[in-house]
Amino acid sequence: MLVLTRKLNQEVVIGDQIKIKVVKIDGNKVRIGIEAPENVRILRQELVSGFEESESEGTSAPLASRIAKHQFQIAEDALEGTPIESCIELAS
């Protein structure tokens, strides 16, 4: 594994078509931006295992719909226990 140190707004280039840029640093969190061709699948690690399990079970749902389902579940989990009024405000 190649390990690099980057500062805010600095980039890493992979090949000719992929750029990874540090766009925000907030405490121990780093926000990155990724530029890549549309045919390159980019997922957070915690989503990868879920997709591999679905594929091994023969799920034929398109990738985009499976991503949307996982994103909805993550949002739903984050809002669990939040009063409905707050959820409505967050949605609008």
Residue 35, CA distances (Å) to 18, 27, 41 in order: 5, 24, 11
Element (H, E) at 87: helix 84-91
Token pair for 21: 């840029």
50 Cβ neighbours under 8 A, 6+ residues apart: 66, 70
pLDDT tens string 28-86: 999 999 999 988 888 888 877 766 666 566 555 566 666 666 566 666 655 565 554 44
Helices (H) and strands (E) in the chain, counts: 3, 3
The residue type found at 38 is E
pTM over 0.75: no
